[in-house]
Amino acid sequence: MKPVNSLSISLKARAKINVGLDVIGKRADGYHELRTVMQTVGLYDNVFIKRTEKPKLKLMTNRKWLPTDGRNLVYRAAEFLIDEFDIDSGVFIELTKSIPVSAGLGGGSSGWATTLIGMRNLFRLPITNPELTQLSQRFGADVPYCVMRGTALAEGIGERLRRLPPHPDAYVLLAKPPVSISTAEIFGRLALASETVHPDIDAIVHGLRLGSLVAVASALGNTLEGVTMEICPAILKLKQIMLDNSALAAQMSGSGPTVFGYFRDRASMRAAATAIAYEMPEVKEVHFTYIYNPV
């Protein structure tokens, strides 16, 4: 996150996966209580921010269908800090999207968090990292994590974060079916009952402490997966194709519908992608990536 020069900065807004996601219950305020292990991966959007002379905020993107006004989270994050700190110069932002949208990969939250960091650094705003994390809580459950990045246990609605030992290295294949999922709809459909299968989040944490990819992979689980699968049965087929092609594990991330698979080597990952292209040609958004642990 080094400035390009004194007038601009370019940053990578990285995607995340939910290694494990457990929904414990529903709170009185309507939100759900979660325990989730989140992990940054290599796939990213690029956020370029530049000072301009005219006091105006302008956003451009490489996706024509994306809004470039207050409906865009990157725009809103910049606008918030401009208002909060009375920034009188103009701001130009170019967002280059690679992360699929409405995919369970935290692209919107990561863009928001990265824009907050970029604006803070570019304008030298008096906000410490802990203050930025606290500030970001008002913008969404995943935003504080996207400020932190790396390997973390998130609890509550996602605002209580605890850093965990780095996730063991792995190749990660991402495949998103051609549907967009509303997180609110999935949580609205979720009916927790005594027979609900809850993933063992503590087993994932133990695997991370051991530094064992096999132990982590064997404990993967997501309470929301079955709910989203009712809307998007392709999730099950994607998981099976990955497992049939040497994935150590395969699972839906977040509220979906993206499926990720862990692979030991690049060749196996590419073989799985080839199988998806052959068996599910409708799945166009397939990405090769890896576990990303910030230094």
Q: Catalytic site residues?
A: 16, 142
Distance CA 250, CA 248 (A): 7
Non-local (6+) Cβ contacts of 156 within 8 A are 33, 34
Q: Give, for 293, the enclosing helix (H) or strand (E).
A: none
Q: How far apart are CA 154 and CA 284, in angstroms?
A: 31
- What's the CA gap between 208 and 215, in Å, rounded? 8
49, 37 Cβ separation under 8 angstroms: no
Q: Please name the residues in contact with 160: beta carbons below 8 A apart, sequence gap of 6 or more.
A: 154
The first and second tokens of residue 66, run together, are: 């994306």
Number of neighbours of residue 281 by Cβ within 10 angstroms: 8
Residue 250 CB neighbours (<10 A):
25
Question: What is the spatial order of strands in the sheet that 285-290 belongs to?
Answer: 249-252, 259-263, 171-176, 285-290
